[in-house]
Structure 1
Amino acid sequence: MTATPLHQKLQPEFYLLVFLVSIGFFMQGLDTTIINTALPAMATSLQEHPLRMHGVVISYVLSVAACIPLSGWLADRFGVRNTFFAAIVIFTLASLGCALSNDFNLLIAFRVLQGIGGALLLPVGRLAMLRIIPREQFLSAMSLMSLAGLMGPLMGPTLGGWLVEYASWHWIFLINLPIGLLGMFVTFKAMPNTTEPSVKKFDLSGFILLVIAMVGMALGIENIASREVSRSFSLGLFITGFIAALIYAYHAHTHQNALFRSKLFRNRIYAIGILGNFFARFGSNAIPFILPLMLQVAFQMEPFMTGIMLTPMVLGSLFSKPIIRPMISKVGYRRLLLINTFLVGACIASFALTTADTPTWLRAVHFFVFGTLNSLQFVAMNTLTLKDLPQQDASSGNSFLSMIMMLSMSIGIALAGTLLNVFTNHLGEAQITQAFHYTLICLGLINIITAIIFYQIPKNQEI
């Protein structure tokens, strides 16, 4: 009798399912990056200041973070096909709403709706593959799907810049319509509606606390330097969010049915990894937002060229993939994260040395180096966080990590926008380049300080 190979080639009957999940992954990856090069053009069209456009990004990312805890329960309760289909419908209709918006607040509302759909696409699609595809073929399926995840960010900045320059910013949302319609059609062909026979009661009170915590802290930071919102109201939002987070911590410890039980954090490595992921992503996640703004608003670069300039960042991320495992094996998680956290922070701060006259080749190399270091950081942090979790906590731990990653992105962009507005108000519009430089230095220093968290990793943490 021959043993079944641990990793088998994906069988043809599952190709359509993997293609379907890849559509969702591609749409989410594309939408996260395509908008960054379009923000100045959108600001002009909507009669808003470009430095206040971070709300368009934050509203999407924050709604994704808030709805991630819902994804698994909805799939168990209503079935993976029904939930995935609803996610594509919501995402596609919200994309149409974004394209038709002629008002900033209306655009924000549709971005929130789009984020709700985006929050369900990848987790539910991955869950469907896990339930339907035999375990020995799952790695092959995930490898194929990951290609779509790479294509979205790779195409996003350049495609966004090209659409803005040669069509209009509305097309960065309209491009989702044919992809979404294809996904709707394929869903009923490729995905069975598997459900769980028994579904535990949803922790609604815990979910509400988490939403208040995330929205309160992110919006409090975003509006602290705003002239339209009073500082006391912004501080009130932040304090409300922080108190809600503390209440949820108690809720997670005492409530049997909590979305994320406090026992997760008894695992020291997981706790360090979550803290590291949260703080070390502030600067890194703000860079794809702040650099296109600096290139266009301060350096007067055209949108299409801005998109092309961001491509080396994605190529650097791809370059890092084959070298990360050997590096961890050689130096261990602790040393790698201590050194790399410092290097990422230094690289972010060094963007303050660039000017409108920086040679294109040097700017491309700079972006490539940042993309490489940033990808090394994310992969190392993620694998460290999850590697020691017991099997029964793996799903919950992974969902919480995903939520923290998106929350960190929203707070990082809010922080970058706030710092930029503070420095611009202080220095004046004429010194906009200097305001960007000071913001980048602050973000880099925050990243460097985060190394203190990774110093707590035990010295024997190897792969």
Structure 2
Amino acid sequence: MQRTLLIPLIVACALFMENMDATVIATSLPVLARDLGQDPLTLKLALTSYVVGLGVFIPISGWVADRFGARTVFRSAILVFLCGSLMCAVSSSLAAFVAARFLQGIGGAMMVPVGRIVIFRAVPRTELVKAISYLTIPSQLGPVIGPPLGGFITTYFHWRWIFLINVPISILGMYLASKYIENYRSDDVQPLDMKGFVLSAVGSTLLMLGLSMIDGELLASEWAFAMCVLGGLTLYVYLQHARREPFPLLDLRLLRIPTFRASVLGGSLFRIGLGAVPFLLPLALQVGFGMNAFHAGTITCASAFGAIFMKAIGTSVLRRYGFRSVLIWNAVLAGLALASYGLFTPTTPYLVMMVVVLLGGFFPSMQFTCLNTMAYADLDSADVSRATSLASVVQQISLGLGVTIGGLAVHFSSRLQGHSTIVAGDFWPAFIVIGLFSMASIPVTRRLPLNAGAALTGHKPVNA
């Protein structure tokens, strides 16, 4: 019980810091954009650059942990994330801020995936669902505290102070990791696929940055489109390389496992929808409805309360209905909840917004618990590092695509409606788009057998 509780809570320090940082930044983007002399939609590049850092370095996180030890890598990742936070605090231009966010992404690329490896190796499989729940409860405090705290600091002090919050959390995380986490490492480390690393790094970077700038605000659309094409071609070359490589950086052969495939592919579609919310909702409330950052933050944080409430009943729901049924019906409810944000107007009562946003946190949190747990249901211990790297990079890139797609939806909605600046009416099409993306995961999860992941939940389907 000590390992089932203590290890997830230590890893949760990193998740708490990462989640709080993301929500704080999202709430502060309009004010930050003004201070940096940029359009608020342009600041999606600051969020995307973080995801690019993740996408480049997550693929080697498993190999690095096996080679140098999980504790060593986990502590070093927290330190790198802290350095990136301090750089954000002193940035005075968009380029400097984007570079600092990229450095944070490098730290995040090692923190979360390696933390999951630590949990999987330290906790018995029969306790894995419970351990994941322990992990996500403290990490959900970041979205609870982040939006109102970031909004309060931005409104009444200065946005630069929000990045200094990570200093005490980082110190605590490094201390606890040093004291309680064993330095797990593999005795049989596979050779690093350096060619695959270069191909995946160049391809994902060009594709993500090209998509972020395709609106023409920072770079001519033709050049951004060319970056997307070149990035896509590079990733295609990587796919061909991975089929021939005996130890590929991202082992796509793991997708042959039904539960892992549903978790990665279905989860990526769902996360595209949800990834846009921390960017779009504060932007709609502040730029569209004229709220200050603090008031917008108090509404945004309601989703975290819904997520925490779900954790209290998530295990019981899975035991009764099983992974397949929950993933299908919950995706419908989550998609409807996210799309309903588009019904908000400047006259919508504050309490109504709070309730709707709370539901918009409850259903996605249930989906994440299912997806993250089911990914490990049928994996062998030897495949954990490679599977974690593949799942994590797809998850994070999906969240980054959500920010990009959400921003582009608002941009084109504003153009089609003939608005010279962003107004409240430009946001509802974007929320519909992200709701549909969340529902798009259903065709993937419907292919799961009725008893998928039953060993983890104890669910006994009637017709299995």
- With structure 1 as the length reference, what TM-score do the two structures score? 0.88
2:144 paired residue number = 154
How many angstroms apart in 2 are the aligned matches of 1:413 and 1:89?
A: 26
Displacement of 1:248 in angstroms is 2.5
After superposition, give the CA deviation of every residue in 1:12-65 in whole Å (9 maximum; x if it has no partner): xx96x7775443332222212221111011011111111211111111123123
2:159 is paired with a residue whose SS is coil
Q: Say which of 310, 313, 317 aligns to 2:300.
A: 310
Contact kept, 8 Å, 2:60 with 2:389, in 1: the verdict is: no
Q: Say which of 24, 44, 54 aligns to 2:34.
A: 44
Residues 321 and 105 of structure 1, relative CA distance in 2, 3 Å threshold: same
Residue 441, structure 1, aligned to residue 432, structure 2: yes
Residue 243, structure 1, aligned to residue 213, structure 2: no
2:214 paired residue number = 224
Q: Say which of 379, 386, 393 aligns to 1:396.
A: 386
1:218 is paired with a residue whose SS is helix
The range that moved more, 68-77 or 188-197, is 188-197
After TM superposition, list the pairs within 5 Å mapping 1:193-342 onto structure 2: 195-342=185-332
After superposition, give the CA deviation of every residue in 1:125-152 in whole Å (9 maximum; x if it has no partner): 4545666x68599868776654432222
2:64 paired residue number = 74
Unaligned runs of 5+ in 1: 1-7
Residue 26, structure 1, aligned to residue 22, structure 2: no
Contact kept, 8 Å, 2:88 with 2:100, in 1: the verdict is: yes
1:454 paired residue number = 445
Amino acid at match of 1:278: S
Displacement of 1:181 in angstroms is 4.0
How many angstroms apart in 1 are the aligned matches of 2:54 and 2:84?
A: 13
Amino acid at match of 1:448: M
How many angstroms apart in 2 are the aligned matches of 1:257 and 1:67?
A: 17
Amino acid at match of 2:447: Q
1:355 is paired with a residue whose SS is coil
The range that moved more, 319-328 or 105-114, is 319-328
How many angstroms apart in 2 are the aligned matches of 1:190 and 1:60?
A: 29
2:290 is paired with a residue whose SS is coil
Displacement of 1:193 in angstroms is 5.1
Amino acid at match of 1:100: V
Unaligned runs of 5+ in 2: 460-464
2:90 paired residue number = 100
1:9 paired residue number = 2
Amino acid at match of 2:297: G
The range that moved more, 28-37 or 394-403, is 394-403
Amino acid at match of 2:279: F
Contact kept, 8 Å, 1:91 with 1:114, in 2: the verdict is: yes
How many angstroms apart in 2 are the aligned matches of 1:54 and 1:319?
A: 30
The range that moved more, 251-260 or 412-421, is 251-260
After superposition, give the CA deviation of every residue in 1:138-195 in whole Å (9 maximum; x if it has no partner): 8687766544322222211111111111211101112222333444566655556555
Residues 433 and 211 of structure 1, relative CA distance in 2, 3 Å threshold: same
Identity value in percent: 32
Residues 9 and 382 of structure 1, relative CA distance in 2, 3 Å threshold: closer
Q: Say which of 330, 345, 348 aligns to 1:358.
A: 348
1:84 paired residue number = 74
Contact kept, 8 Å, 2:307 with 2:365, in 1: the verdict is: yes
Amino acid at match of 2:293: P
How many angstroms apart in 1 are the aligned matches of 2:9 and 2:367?
A: 29
The range that moved more, 193-202 or 114-123, is 193-202
Residues 429 and 86 of structure 1, relative CA distance in 2, 3 Å threshold: same
How many angstroms apart in 2 are the aligned matches of 1:388 and 1:287?
A: 31
Contact kept, 8 Å, 1:37 with 1:303, in 2: the verdict is: yes
Contact kept, 8 Å, 1:219 with 1:414, in 2: the verdict is: no
How many angstroms apart in 2 are the aligned matches of 1:273 and 1:145?
A: 18
Contact kept, 8 Å, 1:269 with 1:457, in 2: the verdict is: yes
Contact kept, 8 Å, 1:223 with 1:418, in 2: the verdict is: no
After TM superposition, list the pairs within 5 Å mapping 1:369-448 onto structure 2: 369-427=359-417, 428-429=419-420, 432-448=423-439
Contact kept, 8 Å, 1:203 with 1:257, in 2: the verdict is: yes
Residues 321 and 136 of structure 1, relative CA distance in 2, 3 Å threshold: closer
Amino acid at match of 1:401: A
How many angstroms apart in 2 are the aligned matches of 1:144 and 1:159?
A: 24
Residues 203 and 115 of structure 1, relative CA distance in 2, 3 Å threshold: same
After superposition, give the CA deviation of every residue in 1:195-228 in whole Å (9 maximum; x if it has no partner): 5444322111112222233223322322221233
Contact kept, 8 Å, 2:59 with 2:389, in 1: the verdict is: yes
- With structure 2 as the length reference, what TM-score do the two structures score? 0.88
Residues 460 and 24 of structure 1, relative CA distance in 2, 3 Å threshold: closer
**How well do the aligned residues superpose, as a CA RMSD in angstroms?**
2.8
